[in-house]
Homo-oligomer: A and B are copies of this chain.
Amino acid sequence: MNPYTEDQSQSIGSLGESKLIEQLKDWLGDAAPAAPFGMGDDCAVLPFPSPGAQQLVTADPIIYGKHFDAQVSPAQAAAKLMRRNLSDIAAMGGRPTHAIICLALDPKVSISWIEPFYKALAEEAKRFQCVIVGGDVSSADHFLGAFLTLYGETSAPHPPLLRHSAQVGSPIFVTGSLGGTRLKKHHSFIPRISEGQWLARSEHCLSCSDLSDGLGKDFANVLPPALGCEIDCSQLPIADDAIETAKSSGKDALYHVFNDGEDFELIFALKPGTAVDSFLTQWRKELQTPVTKIGYATSRTVSKAPRLSFKNAPQSLSANGYEHLR
């Protein structure tokens, strides 16, 4: 949906800031607590974290023209905003607690875009059991962006799942399937919160992250700088939509697995020597989400050797992930 309107009476500019904020509060409903625990004072006062828990924070925006466009509904944009942040909390093994949303938008943005956007934010917050405690609305010319800061906490006594902690020989896994994001998944993915929490409770997990910039870049998230990893391309869980995308892109489906961003699946490494079969049996008993072992962490005997090596790869495989700001 095109977020802009030329009809001044249908624009947020016709409301003015105070009235717009009243509306936003209304649309959020019980996803937004009353002041001082929500909007309406100079700051929001927050619930104290659970005893022994560790607090987590992450921040990612969605910007019109970059992260979504006129083909995307306001509800899909809202889901993407919440879920890309939820995915970061999931990657640390946490559960979300509260969110702060800053809008920067042109006064020509239409009320009929912002209303379903906020109502969907409220739905998302309720679905994933967090509250929206505050934020800000600023005007900006020819711009529409929503900047979310999301808090979460770990379950005591389990520490957060960190990046870069795999060891040589660590088996490496991914959840779900990869490479299908160009077709639709980047608006409808499910953040792997239960899976992250399950891994944080497990004794086996050494390192975890989420795949946002493509496996070809984000494999490094679970590795210390000195280590590499070998991925068995024949084992990769290729999304049906990656195969579909490859038909029109003229590239191999694996290209999309390695280079397309926004899978928002978890990548994690277990302790070397973990009994993989019994780990998988346990996972499948308690979780529905598919999980696949894709390779293992390796030492690099030559320090300039590429960090990513392949088994069963096609001859020419470009696998650098997605680079922003280029």
**CA A161 – CA B91 in complex, angstroms?**
36
Q: Does A240 contact B (CB under 8 A)?
A: no
**CA A16 – CA B324 in complex, angstroms?**
6
Question: Are the CB atoms of B145 and A142 closer together than 8 Å?
Answer: no
Q: Which of B16, B92, B140, B147 contacts A102 (CB 8 A)?
A: B147
Q: Does A72 contact B (CB under 8 A)?
A: no
Question: Are the CB atoms of A323 and B16 closer together than 8 Å?
Answer: yes
Question: Are the CB atoms of B65 and A141 closer together than 8 Å?
Answer: yes
Question: Are the CB atoms of A44 and B16 closer together than 8 Å?
Answer: no
Interface stretch, picked from A74-82, A130-138, A301-309, is: A130-138
Closest to A322 in B: B17
**CA A209 – CA B138 in complex, angstroms?**
20
Interface size class of A (residues with CB under 8 A): 35 or more
Q: What's the least CB distance linking A64 to chain B, in Å?
A: 9
Q: Which of B17, B40, B88 contacts A324 (CB 8 A)?
A: B17
**CA A149 – CA B44 in complex, angstroms?**
11
Question: Are the CB atoms of B160 and A43 closer together than 8 Å?
Answer: yes
Q: What's the least CB distance linking A150 to chain B, in Å?
A: 8
Interface stretch, picked from A25-33, A45-53, A285-293, is: A45-53
Q: Does A236 contact B (CB under 8 A)?
A: no
Contacts of A89 in B (CB 8 A): 42-43
Contacts of A147 in B (CB 8 A): 61, 102, 104, 147
> In the complex, given contacts A20-B325, A36-B160, what are 4 additional A-B residue pairs having Cβ atoms less than 8 angstroms apart?
A17-B323, A43-B91, A45-B92, A65-B141
Question: Can you list 5 residue pairs at the A/B interface with Cβ under 8 Å?
Answer: A17-B323, A41-B92, A58-B134, A59-B102, A107-B325
